[in-house]
Structure 1
Amino acid sequence: MFQTVSDWFWWDRIWLPCNYTWDDLENSEGTGSVSQYQLFITLPLALFFMPLRYVFERVVAIPVARAMGIRSKVRLKASVNPVLEDFYISCSKRPSQTEVYGLAKKINRTSIQVERWFRRRRNQDRPAVMKKFQESCWRFIFYLGALVGGVAVLYDKPWFHDVWEVWVGYPKQEVLTSQYWYYILELSFYWSLLFSIASDVRRKDFNVQVVHHLATIFLLNFSWSVKYIRVGTLTLLVHDVSDILLEAAKMCSYAEWKKSCNALFILFAVVFVISRLIIFPFWIIYATVVYPLYYCPRFFLYYFFNMLMFTLQFLHLYWTYLIFRMVKKVISGNMSGDDRSDKEEEESEGNEEPRLTNGDGKQRILNGQHER
């Protein structure tokens, strides 16, 4: 039954153009054998990446963080209080002013003490700066290595300089060992990111990240299986070049190197716009939408692959919106870290008025100070 489903799914009329069959590709001399089953090795490699990352974050990332001045901050834990804990879990992490007064009366505490308890309890759930730095350091090292490896693989290839070459000889194109391992390592890394996303620092764009990882994994798998490999290698390279700068800027932000962070982030924004909003749509997507029509009629893969490419481009537009928001903060001098993650709240001093929230959850400070 599994073989029947597999044969139906990989029907050559769906995935291959111009009356080609899978046998034509496998029997073509000098092109290198390509099969969807060759990518199964990425799953065990992804599982290998996870303990490798664990070791890296503790052996390399922590010493680097300390050298940059980051220290693990001791957080004051909220005292054990079943009434407040039950409200925190089942009702709201940010009670309104009326709810604070009611809880204070119920447990015979002051409103300030109740607010302080909720503030400490929220901080317990927030990831530490050290954990954020470790994640960024791991991604920075991988993207840097991937960029260097990608340039080494592609710099002397004709389609690196002329995107028309992407389709010359398709689908009977030569597949090199270097291309294979470039795909394997990148795909394994994205599988590992998907596997660990639940335990990583949860960002406000969590769902978008999941969609991005899934779209990338599908693109890599299908582009390899149907020999869209040249397009795939160019797409990987375009994405890696800006990701390095982003992770470097985040590392500087966590270390509170404000000038370096701002400079790197502005550079990242420029590179992101050039690579994701100019090169990717007007060179790479254009090459997958227009150029194939010069070689063969439209077929199912043409529509399916381009749908995934446009999904990625839509995510690029969404992230560009977030980036411009951050750039605005940099220019106005209000840059305060990653806009996608919650920031730790500071402890109140002595008899300072309680920090409360309205029913919609928007933070306010009753004494008229700015929001932290």
Structure 2
Amino acid sequence: MLGWLSRLFWQEHLWFPEGLGWADLEDRDGHVYAKARDLWVALPIALLFLMIRLLFERVVATPLASLLGIKETVRRQVAHNQTLESYYCNTTKNPTQSSVEKLCKQTCWTERQVQHWFRRRRNQDRPNVLKKFCEASWRFTFYLLAFICGLGALIDKPWLYDLEEMWKGFPTLTLLPSQYWYYMLELGFYVSLLFSVASDVKRKDFKEQIVHHLATITLISFSWCVNYIRAGTLIMFLHDSADYLLESAKMFNYARWKNACNYLFILFAGVFIITRLIIFPFWIMYCTWVYPVTLYAPFFGYYFFNGLLLVLQCLHIFWAALIVRLAFRFLTSNSSVEDERSDKEETDESAEENEDMKNREIKKNGLTQNGHAVYNSSHSKTE
């Protein structure tokens, strides 16, 4: 059964244009070609990335955060209540007013106590700023190094300047060492992101991130197997050119460097729109959709590859809408850029509790009842 599925999966007419096949990618005359079995190297690289990340966050990111004044948030723990915990985990984290009233009857707590418990419980599940900073630092470091390596691997290649060069000689395109390592490192990194998705900061576009990682891994793997490597290196390089700017803006945002964060975000927004909404669809995708059919008849791999690119482009449009909305808000109100994908931290106390604390402070310091500071007792004695 497995053998039959394997033969069905690797049929040449699915992966290659008519008249071409796996035999054309056999090493000969000193020429080396990409092979599907090479992709297994990405698994140990992904595990290595996970270990390097743990070391990096502990040795580099955390001390850097300390230098920037970022400290780990210590949140007050909620009192254990089995009824509320069960409702929180199995029903919803944000109960309605009617649900709160029912929970009050079940727990014999006041409405304010139940609401207070849910606020603290939600805050406990939110990642603190230090965790966000460490994650952004790690991604910034990789994307920046990947961009530099990609530039070094492509700077002297003709298909960086003339996109039609991507297909000249296809599929017998000799594999270069720089292409091999660029592919394996990128693939290993995205596999590591998929492995760590359960422990990473979860944002509102969590599902879109999963789709992006899966589409990217599939796209990299497929382009490797059918020797679409020249197109693949261009696509990876194009994506890396904007990603490190976003992660650096996040780092400055967590450090409360408002101006640096805002300027980097505007720069990122410009690069993102140019690369993902202009160059990618109108140059890269045009060259993968239109030019190949002038060389060979369309086949399953042609449609599959371009279908994955279309999925990425849909995600680009989705994220571009968020980016433009943030940039517009910043430019019109001169406010600090905030990541709309992250949940906002809730105040740990209710309005009534804050008022009670305020009144106690007023009484303690000898302030007037309406809350306006006048003179404390020591000042009165001085007069």
Query: When the two structures are superposed, what TM-score results if normalisation uses the length of structure 2?
Result: 0.88
Instruction: Label 1:105 to 1:2 Cα distance change in 2 as closer, same or farther (>3 A).
Output: closer
Counterparts of 1:89 and 1:226, CA distance in 2? 46
1:96-175 paired onto structure 2 within 5 Å: 96-175=96-175
Q: Partner of 2:339 in structure 1?
A: 338
Instruction: Label 1:116 to 1:170 Cα distance change in 2 as closer, same or farther (>3 A).
Output: same
| AA partner of residue 275 (structure 1) | T
SS of 1:326's partner is: helix
Q: Deviations over 1:196-221 (max 9, x none)?
A: 11111111111111111111111111
1:219-368 paired onto structure 2 within 5 Å: 219-331=219-331, 332-335=333-336, 337-348=338-349, 351-352=353-354
Contact 1:116/1:347, CA 8 A, preserved across alignment: yes
Q: Partner of 2:360 in structure 1?
A: none
Counterparts of 2:199 and 2:144, CA distance in 1? 23
CA RMSD of aligned residues (A): 1.8
Counterparts of 1:248 and 1:132, CA distance in 2? 12
Q: Deviations over 1:210-253 (max 9, x none)?
A: 11111111111111111100000000000001100110111111
| AA partner of residue 276 (structure 2) | R
| AA partner of residue 197 (structure 1) | V
1:144-223 paired onto structure 2 within 5 Å: 144-223=144-223
Q: Give the fraction of aligned pairs with identical amino acids, expressed as a percent.
A: 52
SS of 2:19's partner is: coil
> How many Å apart are 1:27 and its aligned residue?
4.7
> How many Å apart are 1:25 and its aligned residue?
2.2
Runs of at least 5 residues in structure 1 that lack an aligned partner in the other structure: 355-372
| AA partner of residue 129 (structure 1) | V
Counterparts of 1:190 and 1:174, CA distance in 2? 25
| AA partner of residue 173 (structure 1) | L
Q: Partner of 1:367 in structure 2?
A: none
Q: Deviations over 1:77-102 (max 9, x none)?
A: 11122232233223332222343344
Contact 1:31/1:172, CA 8 A, preserved across alignment: no
Structure 1 window deviating more from structure 2 (223-232 vs 17-26): it is 17-26
Q: What is the total number of aligned residue pairs between the two structures?
A: 354
Contact 1:12/1:21, CA 8 A, preserved across alignment: yes
| AA partner of residue 337 (structure 1) | E
Q: Partner of 1:23 in structure 2?
A: 23
SS of 2:341's partner is: coil
Instruction: Label 1:114 to 1:327 Cα distance change in 2 as closer, same or farther (>3 A).
Output: same
> How many Å apart are 1:353 and its aligned residue?
7.2
> How many Å apart are 1:350 and its aligned residue?
6.1
